[in-house]
Copies of this chain bind each other. A is one copy, B any other.
Amino acid sequence: MLSSRRQRILCALIEEYVASACPVGSRTIAEHHKLGVSPATIRNELSALEEAGYITQPHTSAGRVPTDAGYREFVDGILSDEQMAASIPHPSAIEALKKSADALDDLIERTNAELARLTECLSVIMAPVSSEARIRQISLVSLSDSSALAVLVTDDGQVANENVIFTEPMPADDLQALERIMNNALAGHATDAIAELANATDPALKTAAARTVMRSLACAAATLTRARASRSGMSTLMRKPEFHESQSLLPVMEILEDDTVLFKAIGRDGQGSEGIKIRIGHENAAEQLFGVSVIAGVYGRGPAQGMIAVIGPTRMDYSKTIGAVQAAQSILNGE
Protein backbone atom coordinates (compact mmCIF):
# COMPACT_ATOMS: atom_id res chain seq x y z
CA MET A 1 0.00 0.00 0.00
CA LEU A 2 1.39 3.38 -0.99
CA SER A 3 1.74 6.23 1.45
CA SER A 4 -0.40 9.23 0.66
CA ARG A 5 2.62 11.29 -0.35
CA ARG A 6 3.93 8.65 -2.71
CA GLN A 7 0.52 8.40 -4.25
CA ARG A 8 0.44 12.13 -4.79
CA ILE A 9 3.90 12.07 -6.32
CA LEU A 10 2.91 9.23 -8.62
CA CYS A 11 -0.16 11.18 -9.72
CA ALA A 12 1.92 14.29 -10.31
CA LEU A 13 4.41 12.34 -12.38
CA ILE A 14 1.70 10.72 -14.46
CA GLU A 15 -0.07 14.01 -15.06
CA GLU A 16 3.20 15.54 -16.14
CA TYR A 17 4.05 12.62 -18.38
CA VAL A 18 0.61 12.51 -19.95
CA ALA A 19 1.00 16.16 -20.86
CA SER A 20 4.59 16.10 -22.08
CA ALA A 21 5.32 12.55 -23.26
CA CYS A 22 8.84 13.04 -21.88
CA PRO A 23 10.48 11.37 -18.88
CA VAL A 24 9.78 13.49 -15.79
CA GLY A 25 12.47 14.53 -13.31
CA SER A 26 12.26 15.41 -9.65
CA ARG A 27 12.71 19.11 -10.25
CA THR A 28 9.81 19.34 -12.68
CA ILE A 29 7.52 17.72 -10.15
CA ALA A 30 8.68 20.01 -7.35
CA GLU A 31 8.15 23.09 -9.48
CA HIS A 32 4.80 22.29 -11.08
CA HIS A 33 3.04 20.65 -8.14
CA LYS A 34 2.87 22.20 -4.70
CA LEU A 35 3.92 19.27 -2.61
CA GLY A 36 5.87 21.36 -0.11
CA VAL A 37 9.00 19.29 -0.35
CA SER A 38 12.29 19.70 -2.16
CA PRO A 39 13.44 17.80 -5.24
CA ALA A 40 15.77 15.75 -3.05
CA THR A 41 12.87 14.37 -1.03
CA ILE A 42 10.98 13.64 -4.19
CA ARG A 43 14.00 11.81 -5.48
CA ASN A 44 13.91 9.52 -2.48
CA GLU A 45 10.25 8.80 -3.04
CA LEU A 46 10.75 8.27 -6.75
CA SER A 47 13.45 5.77 -5.92
CA ALA A 48 10.97 3.89 -3.72
CA LEU A 49 8.28 4.02 -6.39
CA GLU A 50 10.72 2.61 -8.89
CA GLU A 51 11.67 -0.16 -6.47
CA ALA A 52 7.97 -1.00 -6.17
CA GLY A 53 7.62 -1.19 -9.94
CA TYR A 54 5.34 1.77 -10.55
CA ILE A 55 7.79 3.82 -12.55
CA THR A 56 10.96 3.21 -14.52
CA GLN A 57 13.92 5.05 -15.97
CA PRO A 58 14.65 4.79 -19.69
CA HIS A 59 18.29 5.38 -18.75
CA THR A 60 20.27 6.57 -15.75
CA SER A 61 20.34 10.23 -16.57
CA ALA A 62 16.73 10.54 -17.62
CA GLY A 63 13.61 11.25 -15.62
CA ARG A 64 11.00 8.62 -14.79
CA VAL A 65 8.20 7.16 -16.85
CA PRO A 66 5.15 5.34 -15.45
CA THR A 67 4.92 1.58 -15.96
CA ASP A 68 1.68 -0.28 -16.68
CA ALA A 69 1.49 -0.98 -12.94
CA GLY A 70 1.91 2.71 -12.23
CA TYR A 71 -0.99 3.62 -14.48
CA ARG A 72 -3.04 0.87 -12.87
CA GLU A 73 -2.44 2.29 -9.40
CA PHE A 74 -3.30 5.74 -10.69
CA VAL A 75 -6.49 4.59 -12.38
CA ASP A 76 -7.66 2.62 -9.35
CA GLY A 77 -7.17 5.79 -7.35
CA ILE A 78 -9.30 7.75 -9.78
CA LEU A 79 -12.05 5.15 -9.81
CA SER A 80 -12.27 4.89 -6.03
CA ASP A 81 -12.55 8.63 -5.81
CA GLU A 82 -15.91 8.37 -7.54
CA GLN A 83 -15.18 11.72 -9.05
CA MET A 84 -16.26 10.15 -12.28
CA ALA A 85 -19.90 11.09 -11.96
CA ALA A 86 -18.90 14.71 -12.25
CA SER A 87 -16.64 14.19 -15.21
CA ILE A 88 -19.19 13.04 -17.77
CA PRO A 89 -18.55 15.69 -20.33
CA HIS A 90 -20.50 17.91 -22.65
CA PRO A 91 -24.19 17.27 -22.05
CA SER A 92 -24.86 19.60 -24.94
CA ALA A 93 -23.00 17.33 -27.34
CA ILE A 94 -25.02 14.40 -26.06
CA GLU A 95 -28.25 16.23 -26.62
CA ALA A 96 -27.26 17.10 -30.14
CA LEU A 97 -26.53 13.48 -30.90
CA LYS A 98 -29.76 12.18 -29.46
CA LYS A 99 -31.79 14.64 -31.42
CA SER A 100 -30.31 13.49 -34.70
CA ALA A 101 -30.85 9.84 -33.86
CA ASP A 102 -32.35 8.04 -36.82
CA ALA A 103 -31.38 4.48 -37.46
CA LEU A 104 -29.14 2.77 -34.94
CA ASP A 105 -26.27 2.41 -37.37
CA ASP A 106 -26.32 6.09 -37.98
CA LEU A 107 -26.36 6.91 -34.28
CA ILE A 108 -23.43 4.56 -33.74
CA GLU A 109 -21.49 6.27 -36.49
CA ARG A 110 -22.06 9.75 -35.10
CA THR A 111 -21.45 8.77 -31.50
CA ASN A 112 -18.25 7.10 -32.51
CA ALA A 113 -16.98 10.17 -34.33
CA GLU A 114 -17.79 12.30 -31.32
CA LEU A 115 -16.10 9.86 -28.97
CA ALA A 116 -12.93 9.87 -31.04
CA ARG A 117 -12.94 13.64 -31.15
CA LEU A 118 -13.43 14.02 -27.41
CA THR A 119 -10.85 11.48 -26.36
CA GLU A 120 -8.34 12.22 -29.12
CA CYS A 121 -7.93 8.49 -29.46
CA LEU A 122 -9.08 5.68 -31.69
CA SER A 123 -12.60 4.65 -30.85
CA VAL A 124 -14.54 1.59 -31.88
CA ILE A 125 -18.21 0.83 -31.46
CA MET A 126 -19.50 -2.63 -32.23
CA ALA A 127 -23.13 -2.93 -33.22
CA PRO A 128 -25.18 -5.12 -30.91
CA VAL A 129 -25.39 -8.78 -31.87
CA SER A 130 -28.03 -11.01 -30.43
CA SER A 131 -28.22 -14.64 -31.34
CA GLU A 132 -31.49 -14.75 -29.45
CA ALA A 133 -33.32 -12.38 -31.78
CA ARG A 134 -36.56 -13.76 -33.16
CA ILE A 135 -37.93 -13.44 -36.64
CA ARG A 136 -40.72 -10.92 -36.78
CA GLN A 137 -41.44 -10.78 -40.46
CA ILE A 138 -40.16 -11.90 -43.82
CA SER A 139 -40.75 -10.06 -47.08
CA LEU A 140 -40.08 -11.34 -50.55
CA VAL A 141 -39.73 -8.53 -53.04
CA SER A 142 -39.64 -9.40 -56.71
CA LEU A 143 -36.68 -7.95 -58.58
CA SER A 144 -37.04 -9.73 -61.91
CA ASP A 145 -38.84 -12.70 -63.45
CA SER A 146 -36.85 -15.22 -61.54
CA SER A 147 -35.15 -13.33 -58.78
CA ALA A 148 -36.27 -11.66 -55.61
CA LEU A 149 -34.95 -10.06 -52.49
CA ALA A 150 -35.61 -11.76 -49.18
CA VAL A 151 -35.83 -9.27 -46.33
CA LEU A 152 -35.85 -10.49 -42.76
CA VAL A 153 -36.84 -8.29 -39.83
CA THR A 154 -36.24 -9.35 -36.22
CA ASP A 155 -38.24 -8.35 -33.19
CA ASP A 156 -35.46 -6.09 -32.01
CA GLY A 157 -35.58 -4.13 -35.22
CA GLN A 158 -32.62 -5.53 -37.11
CA VAL A 159 -32.86 -6.05 -40.84
CA ALA A 160 -31.00 -8.47 -43.06
CA ASN A 161 -31.49 -9.11 -46.73
CA GLU A 162 -30.26 -11.49 -49.34
CA ASN A 163 -30.81 -12.11 -53.02
CA VAL A 164 -32.85 -15.13 -54.04
CA ILE A 165 -32.39 -16.55 -57.49
CA PHE A 166 -35.02 -19.05 -58.54
CA THR A 167 -34.35 -21.73 -61.09
CA GLU A 168 -37.55 -20.89 -62.96
CA PRO A 169 -39.80 -17.84 -63.40
CA MET A 170 -41.74 -16.86 -60.32
CA PRO A 171 -45.04 -15.01 -60.86
CA ALA A 172 -46.04 -12.35 -58.36
CA ASP A 173 -48.88 -14.43 -56.96
CA ASP A 174 -46.65 -17.41 -56.31
CA LEU A 175 -44.13 -15.16 -54.63
CA GLN A 176 -46.79 -13.78 -52.31
CA ALA A 177 -47.92 -17.28 -51.48
CA LEU A 178 -44.36 -18.23 -50.74
CA GLU A 179 -44.00 -15.20 -48.52
CA ARG A 180 -47.07 -16.29 -46.53
CA ILE A 181 -45.70 -19.80 -46.18
CA MET A 182 -42.41 -18.46 -44.91
CA ASN A 183 -44.01 -16.17 -42.37
CA ASN A 184 -46.24 -18.94 -41.10
CA ALA A 185 -43.35 -21.30 -40.71
CA LEU A 186 -40.68 -18.97 -39.39
CA ALA A 187 -42.19 -15.96 -37.62
CA GLY A 188 -41.50 -16.09 -33.92
CA HIS A 189 -38.62 -18.51 -34.23
CA ALA A 190 -35.03 -17.70 -33.40
CA THR A 191 -32.96 -16.57 -36.35
CA ASP A 192 -30.53 -19.42 -35.93
CA ALA A 193 -33.33 -21.96 -36.12
CA ILE A 194 -33.87 -21.49 -39.84
CA ALA A 195 -31.61 -24.35 -40.81
CA GLU A 196 -33.41 -26.78 -38.50
CA LEU A 197 -36.83 -25.74 -39.69
CA ALA A 198 -35.75 -26.36 -43.24
CA ASN A 199 -35.59 -30.02 -42.34
CA ALA A 200 -39.02 -30.00 -40.72
CA THR A 201 -41.82 -32.12 -42.09
CA ASP A 202 -44.01 -29.27 -43.29
CA PRO A 203 -44.59 -30.21 -46.96
CA ALA A 204 -45.05 -26.56 -47.94
CA LEU A 205 -41.37 -26.02 -47.13
CA LYS A 206 -40.24 -28.89 -49.29
CA THR A 207 -40.72 -27.27 -52.68
CA ALA A 208 -37.66 -26.24 -54.63
CA ALA A 209 -38.57 -22.56 -54.41
CA ALA A 210 -39.11 -22.73 -50.66
CA ARG A 211 -35.77 -24.40 -50.16
CA THR A 212 -34.05 -21.72 -52.21
CA VAL A 213 -35.62 -19.00 -50.10
CA MET A 214 -34.75 -20.78 -46.87
CA ARG A 215 -31.14 -20.96 -47.93
CA SER A 216 -31.03 -17.24 -48.60
CA LEU A 217 -32.75 -16.49 -45.32
CA ALA A 218 -30.21 -18.55 -43.43
CA CYS A 219 -27.47 -16.50 -45.09
CA ALA A 220 -29.22 -13.28 -44.21
CA ALA A 221 -29.68 -14.38 -40.60
CA ALA A 222 -26.00 -15.25 -40.40
CA THR A 223 -25.05 -11.67 -41.19
CA LEU A 224 -26.98 -10.54 -38.11
CA THR A 225 -24.72 -12.40 -35.72
CA ARG A 226 -21.57 -11.23 -37.42
CA ALA A 227 -19.62 -8.59 -35.53
CA ARG A 228 -19.82 -5.19 -37.21
CA ALA A 229 -17.54 -2.44 -36.03
CA SER A 230 -17.39 1.27 -36.65
CA ARG A 231 -13.93 2.82 -36.27
CA SER A 232 -12.95 6.43 -35.88
CA GLY A 233 -9.90 8.47 -34.97
CA MET A 234 -7.09 6.41 -36.42
CA SER A 235 -5.31 9.48 -37.72
CA THR A 236 -5.53 11.15 -34.32
CA LEU A 237 -3.62 8.23 -32.90
CA MET A 238 -0.94 8.51 -35.56
CA ARG A 239 -0.25 12.05 -34.49
CA LYS A 240 0.72 11.02 -30.95
CA PRO A 241 4.48 10.98 -30.47
CA GLU A 242 4.58 7.36 -29.27
CA PHE A 243 3.22 6.29 -32.63
CA HIS A 244 5.47 8.33 -34.87
CA GLU A 245 7.16 5.23 -36.20
CA SER A 246 4.40 3.22 -37.75
CA GLN A 247 6.00 0.06 -36.46
CA SER A 248 4.45 0.74 -33.07
CA LEU A 249 1.02 1.12 -34.59
CA LEU A 250 1.21 -1.93 -36.81
CA PRO A 251 -0.09 -4.50 -34.30
CA VAL A 252 -3.07 -2.30 -33.48
CA MET A 253 -3.75 -1.85 -37.18
CA GLU A 254 -3.70 -5.59 -37.71
CA ILE A 255 -6.32 -6.11 -35.03
CA LEU A 256 -8.46 -3.39 -36.53
CA GLU A 257 -8.51 -4.93 -39.97
CA ASP A 258 -11.03 -7.63 -39.23
CA ASP A 259 -14.25 -7.04 -37.34
CA THR A 260 -14.32 -10.48 -35.82
CA VAL A 261 -10.73 -10.33 -34.62
CA LEU A 262 -11.34 -6.87 -33.22
CA PHE A 263 -14.41 -8.08 -31.39
CA LYS A 264 -12.50 -10.89 -29.73
CA ALA A 265 -9.57 -8.69 -28.79
CA ILE A 266 -11.66 -5.99 -27.22
CA GLY A 267 -14.49 -8.02 -25.81
CA ARG A 268 -12.59 -10.60 -23.82
CA ASP A 269 -14.31 -10.87 -20.44
CA GLY A 270 -15.93 -7.49 -20.88
CA GLN A 271 -19.20 -9.18 -21.73
CA GLY A 272 -22.02 -9.13 -19.27
CA SER A 273 -20.62 -6.84 -16.65
CA GLU A 274 -22.14 -3.42 -16.59
CA GLY A 275 -19.15 -1.32 -15.62
CA ILE A 276 -16.25 -0.06 -17.64
CA LYS A 277 -13.27 -2.29 -18.19
CA ILE A 278 -9.85 -0.69 -18.27
CA ARG A 279 -7.01 -2.72 -19.66
CA ILE A 280 -3.61 -1.08 -19.53
CA GLY A 281 -0.80 -2.26 -21.78
CA HIS A 282 0.06 -5.83 -20.89
CA GLU A 283 -3.22 -6.30 -19.09
CA ASN A 284 -4.75 -6.82 -22.50
CA ALA A 285 -5.36 -10.40 -23.55
CA ALA A 286 -4.31 -9.76 -27.14
CA GLU A 287 -0.59 -9.41 -27.63
CA GLN A 288 -1.10 -6.77 -30.31
CA LEU A 289 -2.61 -4.48 -27.70
CA PHE A 290 0.28 -4.69 -25.23
CA GLY A 291 1.42 -1.23 -26.25
CA VAL A 292 -1.90 0.55 -25.77
CA SER A 293 -4.69 0.91 -23.24
CA VAL A 294 -8.28 -0.05 -23.90
CA ILE A 295 -11.24 1.51 -22.14
CA ALA A 296 -14.27 -0.62 -22.93
CA GLY A 297 -17.90 -0.71 -21.95
CA VAL A 298 -21.01 -2.46 -23.13
CA TYR A 299 -24.32 -0.88 -24.05
CA GLY A 300 -27.79 -2.06 -24.88
CA ARG A 301 -30.28 -3.90 -22.73
CA GLY A 302 -31.19 -7.54 -22.64
CA PRO A 303 -29.54 -10.05 -24.91
CA ALA A 304 -28.56 -7.59 -27.62
CA GLN A 305 -25.42 -5.99 -26.27
CA GLY A 306 -23.00 -3.86 -28.19
CA MET A 307 -19.60 -2.68 -27.20
CA ILE A 308 -17.79 0.63 -26.98
CA ALA A 309 -14.02 0.81 -26.78
CA VAL A 310 -11.48 3.58 -26.83
CA ILE A 311 -7.94 2.61 -27.74
CA GLY A 312 -5.10 4.98 -26.99
CA PRO A 313 -1.55 5.16 -25.73
CA THR A 314 -1.06 3.97 -22.15
CA ARG A 315 -0.13 7.62 -21.68
CA MET A 316 -3.72 8.82 -22.01
CA ASP A 317 -6.03 10.99 -19.98
CA TYR A 318 -7.82 8.12 -18.26
CA SER A 319 -10.24 10.30 -16.38
CA LYS A 320 -11.46 12.08 -19.49
CA THR A 321 -11.60 8.89 -21.51
CA ILE A 322 -13.61 6.97 -18.92
CA GLY A 323 -16.06 9.82 -18.73
CA ALA A 324 -16.39 9.92 -22.50
CA VAL A 325 -17.07 6.20 -22.72
CA GLN A 326 -19.72 6.50 -20.04
CA ALA A 327 -21.31 9.33 -21.98
CA ALA A 328 -21.32 7.19 -25.13
CA GLN A 329 -22.95 4.37 -23.17
CA SER A 330 -25.74 6.59 -22.04
CA ILE A 331 -26.31 7.89 -25.55
CA LEU A 332 -26.55 4.41 -27.00
CA ASN A 333 -28.71 3.19 -24.16
CA GLY A 334 -31.12 5.90 -25.16
CA GLU A 335 -30.99 7.57 -21.75
As for how many copies of this chain the complex holds, the number is 2
Cα(A149)–Cα(B235), bound, Å: 36
Q: Interface with B: A54-62, A154-162, A195-203, which one? A: A154-162
Residue A167 lies at the interface, judged by CB distance under 8 Å to chain B: no
Interface pair B153/A223, CB less than 8 Å apart: no
Tell me the A115-173 residues at the B interface (CB within 8 Å): 136-137, 139, 141-143, 149, 151, 153, 155-157, 159, 161-163
Residues in B neighbouring A235, C-beta threshold 8 A? 250, 253-254, 257
CA distance A147 to B232 in the complex (A): 31
Would A103 and B161 count as touching, CB distance under 8 A? yes
Interface residues of A in 155-211 (CB under 8 A from B): 155-157, 159, 161-163
| B residues in contact with A136, CB < 8 Å | 141-143
A246 at the interface (CB under 8 A from B): yes
The stretch from A8-16, A236-244, A313-321 touching chain B is A236-244
Hey, what's the 0/1 contact readout for A82-104 against B, CB within 8 Å counting as 1?
00000000000000000000111
Residue on B nearest A153 in the bound complex, by CB: B141
Tell which of B155, B244, B246, B247 touches A143, judged by Cβ atoms closer than 8 Å. Answer: B155
Answer yes or no: A287 CB below 8 A from chain B CBs. Answer: no
Residues of B with C-beta under 8 A to A254 = 235
A220 close to chain B: CB less than 8 A:
yes
Q: In the complex, A242→B280 CA distance in Å?
A: 31
Flag if B149 contacts A159 (CB, 8 Å): yes
Whether A219 is near chain B, meaning CB under 8 Å from some CB there, is yes
Q: Does A249 touch B at the CB level, under 8 Å?
A: yes
Cβ contacts A to B, 16 pairs, < 8 Å: A103-B162, A106-B223, A136-B142, A136-B143, A139-B139, A139-B153, A151-B153, A153-B161, A159-B159, A235-B253, A238-B246, A238-B249, A238-B250, A238-B253, A245-B246, A246-B246
